[in-house]
Amino acid sequence: MPSSINLKAQRSHAYLSSNLPSMIRYSDEVAAARSAGLPLVALESTIISHGLPRPTNLQVAKEVEAIVRDAGAVPATIAVIDGEINVGLDLKSLERLAEDTSVVKASIRDLPMVHVKKLSAATTVAATSHIAHQAGISFFATGGLGGVHRGAQESWDESADLMALATIPILVVCAGAKSILDVPATLERMETLSIPIIGYRTQRFPGFYLADSGFTLDYRADSPVEVASLWHARHA
């Protein structure tokens, strides 16, 4: 049975969900992929605007999209450009995210404000997951997840990413939690929120830029078919 906290979170996301699909602008590449039923991979944009130094950020954004294409899927980098939610970015929009210092960072709560004020924003893991789900995309690749910050017992500083992962049906491939976080506390919160963590061909929880954070996972999957089976079993 879903926990009461999950039900509350689902209701809190509902006000964004009803009109969001009509507010989304799809790139030509993503629109064509949707029409043809091709596989899509959502990509977040905060790493472009806030996560990496210039000009490495733009280079990495292009390389990640190329990797997705080489694997036979279509990349759908998500961001807000002048208040418009974009699923899939052309080169001009990627360059703007990488170079424009006025681009803000938007989580789920910020989406109405950046839309109304016509701001440009890079989307966090939470916001990217939310938009991807509304766009019918079930697969999302990112770097590090947000989680519980160190000293959270006093500051109550916890990323909205966790609640999003607990309530939005999306499969996220990541490199664990960001290294600045309290990793043990983050893992405990993920357990409390019933967020399954599956190691792909490993049973070690990664440490962002390290393959092993020192924590062991309960479960692993050794093939894409097994991952897909786990996904379908969870959302049956």
105 is catalytic: no
Q: State the CB neighbour count (10 A cutoff) for residue 133.
A: 20
CA 118 vs CA 85, 137, 235: distances in Å: 10, 25, 35
Q: How far, in whole angstroms, is CA 56 from its chain's centroid?
A: 20
Residues 29, 65, 158, 178: which is the catalytic one? 178
Residues 29, 44, 65, 158: which is the catalytic one? 44
Q: How far apart are CA 150 and CA 162, in angstroms?
A: 15
Catalytic residues, by residue number, are 44, 178
